[in-house]
Amino acid sequence: MAATATQKQTLKIAFSSQVLDRPLMGPPGMAPKYLKALADSSVVEIINYFSFNAELAEVKPKSKNPHALLLFKGKGKLAAVHLDARTTQLTAFGREIIIPPFKVKELNPGIKCEKYWTGPGTTAGNLVCK
């Protein structure tokens, strides 16, 4: 929906809430004291993503939307990964899957994926399935 690079960047920031927690934005011409507060690095938390490879065991759709809870087999136990239609990047068999119109029923148990996430039960930033 964004027409310019600036609009695309703005939308990316606005929809990246699980990574940035609560992104802060303001209008042009903000007072310097407010800009200084937004630039205070003491309130910035660096989030480390890590990845692992596992086999998809089960897909649990969330209602009738493209969000889902994905259960992966790994090291003898199941790992729960959330797929968010707005923020999770998904690549399957070498092509990027656009969410929507992607339907979670298109992910089949048994497919092997590499997940990039911040930890158990969190939303995946990126899924690469083969």
Domain residue ranges in the chain: 5-43, 50-129
Cis ω on the peptide bond leading into residue 32 (within 30° of 0)?
Answer: no
Distance CA 73, CA 79 (A): 6
In tens, the pLDDT along 43-64 reads 656 677 788 899 999 988 877 7
Split at pLDDT 50, 70, 90, the class of 112 is: very high
In tens, the pLDDT along 11-45 reads 776 666 555 555 566 777 888 887 777 766 666 56
Question: Cα-flanking dihedrals φ and ψ of residue 94, to 5°?
Answer: 85, 0
State whether CATH 3.40.50.20 applies to domain 50-129. no
- The residue that leads in pLDDT, 77 or 75, is 77
